[in-house]
Amino acid sequence: MSDVATRLDVLKTYKLYVGGKFPRSESGRVYEVTDSKGEWLANAPLGTRKDTRDAVVAARKAVKGWAGTTAYNRGQVLYRVAEMLQGRREQFAAEVAVSEGIGPKKAAALVDAAIDRWVWYAGWTDKVAQIAGGANPVAGPYFNLSTPEPTGVVGIVAPQAGYGHSLLGLVSVIAPAIATGNTVVVAAAADAPLPALSLGEVLATSDVPGGVVNIISGNTADIAPTLASHQDVNALDLTGAIAADGPGAAQALEAAAADTLKRVVRPVLDPFAQDWTNAPGTNRLLSFLETKTVWHPKGI
């Protein structure tokens, strides 16, 4: 017999990311995450409505400080996220590969694209005001200036299906919202939450203030309605809603958001046709901005 004992791997305990901390679900429950072949990968925390409400509280507390940070400094923070994600490239490539059932080369390419996406949005933080604001021509002795301001707390139903959704799609909805000074509460993809939960660890070590990004895994049918109806959530991104629970659920979320006067980004009708590797454009940067217009008399 061999004298060398068989070593058991230390399995990772995935947790929620709320307020810059890593709590277990309030319920103490988990659910099984499987790969494309149905084989067990890990246990993910089953986030509850209480967890979601706690995340909204954390996001609200972080709004003033994050929105008040200079655009240049926000860009530095987002760039730092890219740096830290680059340092854990192999881990994320492995998680994306098993989550989406793709090969290692494709998975690595998606992680690289997610890193580049952070850099891309980092470069926009101090430039978006140039396309979303400016001096307006008026007939009279006045200056009329419009400047963009963040909407506030944004609830996000992350992409739930389609090529590249588990990390690149997630980054593509989080980064533009926080680049413009908003804070977010994200319902991670229920079918592939591991890259999202690991992203929380990257954010926690990337100078992102606690509460700016909050990530909840679990049943989207529980998390999304809480975000849609919560009066302290200012806007709602339903990108993954149809894939999660069907068109009817997405319509119900829009109706709940209307009751509380939220700005809404509607879901993609065919989530499987959404290619997150395409150039992102500026639409998402502008989706969660409000415009403040100031009049000032000339010569005074």
Structure tokens at 67: 């929105």
User: In the block, which residue shows the tokens 């997630």?
Assistant: 170
Q: What is the pLDDT of residues 94-130, one digit of tens each?
A: 999 999 999 999 999 999 999 999 999 999 999 999 8
pTM of the model: 0.92
Give the whole-angstrom CA distance, residue 288 versus residue 300: 34
- Residue 9's contacts (CB-CB under 8 Å, 6 or more residues apart) are none
Contacts for 99-103: CB closer than 8 Å, 24+ residues apart: 99/33, 99/35, 99/41, 99/166, 99/192, 99/194, 99/195, 100/36, 100/163, 100/164, 100/165, 100/166, 100/192, 101/35, 101/36, 101/37
Structure tokens at 16: 């929620």
- Residue (of 51, 6, 64, 28) closest to 217 by Cα position: 51
Are residues 157 and 240 in contact, defined by beta-carbon separation less than 8 angstroms? yes
User: In the block, which residue shows the tokens 């006045």?
Assistant: 142
Q: 3.40.50.300, 3.40.1000.10, 3.30.70.1350, 3.40.605.10: which CATH number matches 30-297?
A: 3.40.605.10
Per-domain residue ranges of the chain: 30-297
Across 129-135, average pLDDT: 86
Q: What is the pLDDT of residues 118-127, one digit of tens each?
A: 999 999 999 9
Our CA angle for 283, 277, 266, nearest 5°, is 40
Residue 271 is given by DSSP the state G
Instruction: Calculate the alpha carbon distances from 14 to 38, 173, 229 in Å.
Output: 19, 22, 27
Per-residue pLDDT at 163: 63
> What count of Cα atoms within 13 Å lies in the side-chain half-sphere of residue 158?
33
Per-residue pLDDT at 192: 92
- Residue (of 69, 52, 63, 66) closest to 18 by Cα position: 52
Residue 265 has pLDDT above 90, yes or no: yes
Residue 5 has pLDDT above 90, yes or no: no
Q: How confident is residue 2, by pLDDT bands cut at 50, 70 and 90?
A: low
Structure tokens at 272: 């499987």
**Count helices and strands in the chain by DSSP H and E runs:** 11, 10
Residue 175 has pLDDT above 80, yes or no: yes
Q: For residue 85, give the H/E element and its range.
A: helix 71-87
Q: For residue 92, give the H/E element and its range.
A: helix 89-100
